Structure 1
Amino acid sequence: MSLIPGRISVVIPAYNQEEYICDALTSLTRQKLGKWELEVLVVDDASTDQTANLVLGYQHKLERLELVSLPTNSGVSAARNAGLEAVTGEFFTFLDPDDWYAPEHLATLASALEELHVDFVRTDHVRVTGTNRVLHRAPQAVRGLPLNPADDIEPIDSPSMVDYAFVWAGMYRTDLMRSVDAYFFDADLYSAEDRLWLWKLHLRTSRYAVVSYPGVFYRRGLPGSLTQVFDERQLGFIPAYARILEEVRAHQDADRHLPKAMRQFFAIVCHHEKRAKNYPPQVRLEMKQQLRKIFTTIDVHIAQQVALEMDIARRRHILSFLQVGVAK
């Protein structure tokens, strides 16, 4: 599919979002685009509410609004991929259906992409919890200059740009992402899919930038969000990190980046173990079994070194998994 210069494509995956989708779309009608042209691709992931009808009601307000309907509920990765299949813009980005943009958000990011001649840009965001709003800055102090994405994978023991796992807090050059095979999400992942996608960007591209424009507003703590459910969808982080570790091992600088990938994985393991008391017994058992399996394939020497740099409680927990791996 040929790309249209000067066009920005926004992909919105939506499942049962009748309460919020109008806020997202209204923010798009208010974009001050200047020379840029907007394409909006809403993917209805087999909603059972009025989401699709509400989207259709915006077709007279957004000239290039397309509703893509999936026949069965397939998850956020598959929904984003369906939108990405239809992208015709020179640049693309994502908007979750319960979030919204400030009026100059898209033009600001597109202009930065164009002027800095980079593969992608990342930006800050505003976290919204009820009526409370808090600015969250991307963990890179250097702003508005081209940077090497691989250089910003580290440091190991403090937040870096691969820890800033919000794919909607950025904009991407479509042809480049397709050429380096960093365009589509792994459709079978129901969580942590954004982490794998961003790791690929940092390993496979050569130039990016961070800009100081917190123009995306991110709602937290909603009842349907993954942080509020305790079923098998929580376990998506395990296959996601198996693939992240595989991706890093295949990289030319694997020795440099593998400790960071492991540290990130270990921290999320500990996070889920802490929450596991809220999971059904079968989900807890499945998590243990999957983790034991992945720890039998892990790089034990590097993993032990990484674990030794963690706090005592987390270190003890991770080392217990590693001992299982060594025993097998």
Structure 2
Amino acid sequence: MSSPIVTVILPAKDAGPYIGTTVTTLGRQFEDPGRLRLVVIDDGSTDDTRAQVQHFARDMPHVEIISNPQPIGLAAARNQGLDLVDTDFFCFVDGDDWMHPERLESLVESMRRLECDFVRTDHVTDTDGRRRLMRAPHGRRGRVVSPRDAIMPADETTMVDYPYAWAGMFHRRVLDRGLAHFEPGLFTAEDRPWIWRLHLRAESFAVVDAPAILYRRGVTTSLTQVLDRRQLDFLPAFAEAIRVVEEDDDADRFLPKIATTTMSVCAYHLFRARAMSTADRTALRTGIRDLLRAIPAEQIDPALSRLSDRRRRILARLVREVRTA
């Protein structure tokens, strides 16, 4: 039996309708399926997620399934998988997404050729069969660069605005340096402090072309589709991201970017708040006030000026309230 060279971490909760496709495509990543190790975290599913994995992974020689009696959230579930990585390379996939054949083989080849800490790729969204290519926001392809050099400028979409953990592959040394784990307890936005820590502290990365990973949008059980109190996890997530930046030796360089991104996301959630309950909407506004206070005061006005007119108007009242409190 061949030894695995890449560990795939697959957290899933109630993914029974989709996970068969995910696992089937993982079986097509290498000519020798023994080169892949699959770690599945069944995070408190109440459907047949585990049975579906067992059925569709029956011909894969290296599969481990962890079952959590109660859901602990995507961040903590991914961390469970990270603690079991024993290969040179690892990556993530979610239970409602899937890959084109030989994607992972292509990424392993890129990692070996470029000898960098991690690689990132484009992805394809699938919304009821309508597909759209989403390009990683970085102009240099196939070239190793410093992750810090892909953070700025503050007024453009950059790689820290592309936080999708599953859109790439990582060398084990990223894990050994403590850069791969997620903030436990976060049910949404867990990838925001994670992507900042990665780009500030890893040494090298590249954006590469590879067979596609497809991200299924519009899944009703996805937390991006559920407007309840769990959406408010973006507040501690961005507070942690701000803290990560402030601890950096070059914080002054990067604070304009994290301030702008934070305020833009706050405006986005305020716009969506009309569909929330009154209690959740009140908690959201209180949390945003606290988050705005975490941003250095001198960064507020420049960050506001970088936002669209609509997002600036949405945030204006809360900014005034913070300043006059």
Q: 1:299 aligns with which of 278, 296, 300?
A: 296
How big is the alpha-carbon RMSD for the aligned residues of Structure 1 and Structure 2? Answer: 1.8
CA apart distance, 1:225: 1.3
Equivalent residue letter for 1:303: I
What's 1:229 paired with?
226
What's 1:79 paired with?
77
Equivalent residue letter for 2:7: S
After superposition, give the CA deviation of every residue in 1:55-92 in whole Å (9 maximum; x if it has no partner): 12244311001111112111111111111111111111
The answer to whether structure 1 residue 185 and structure 2 residue 175 are counterparts is no
Corresponding residue SS for 2:142? coil
C-alpha distance in 1 between matches for 2:17 and 2:89: 28
Equivalent residue letter for 2:66: V
What's 1:201 paired with?
198
What's 2:270 paired with?
273
Between Structure 1 and Structure 2, how many residues are aligned? Answer: 324
What's 2:8 paired with?
10
C-alpha distance in 1 between matches for 2:37 and 2:44: 22
C-alpha distance in 2 between matches for 1:160 and 1:318: 22
The answer to whether structure 1 residue 243 and structure 2 residue 253 are counterparts is no
The answer to whether structure 1 residue 324 and structure 2 residue 305 are counterparts is no
**Percent of pairs with identical residues:** 37
The 8 Å contact of residues 12 and 94 in structure 2, kept in 1 or not, is answered as yes
> Bigger shift: 43-52 or 4-13?
4-13
CA apart distance, 1:291: 1.4
CA apart distance, 1:214: 4.5
What's 1:145 paired with?
143
Q: Gaps (5+ residues) in structure 2?
A: none
CA apart distance, 1:17: 0.8
CA apart distance, 1:324: 2.6
Corresponding residue SS for 2:36? strand
TM (norm. structure 1) is 0.94
CA apart distance, 1:294: 2.2
TM (norm. structure 2) is 0.95
Change (3 A) 1:287 1:227: same
The 8 Å contact of residues 141 and 209 in structure 2, kept in 1 or not, is answered as yes
Change (3 A) 1:286 1:11: same
After superposition, give the CA deviation of every residue in 1:262-313 in whole Å (9 maximum; x if it has no partner): 1111111111111100001110010111111222332111121211232333
Change (3 A) 1:249 1:36: farther
Corresponding residue SS for 1:191? coil
CA apart distance, 1:5: 8.4
After superposition, give the CA deviation of every residue in 1:140-180 in whole Å (9 maximum; x if it has no partner): 1210010110110112112111111211001001233321x
The 8 Å contact of residues 24 and 57 in structure 2, kept in 1 or not, is answered as no
Change (3 A) 1:213 1:105: same
Change (3 A) 1:149 1:251: same
Change (3 A) 1:99 1:230: same
The answer to whether structure 1 residue 286 and structure 2 residue 283 are counterparts is yes
CA apart distance, 1:6: 6.2
Change (3 A) 1:136 1:312: closer
The 8 Å contact of residues 27 and 33 in structure 2, kept in 1 or not, is answered as no
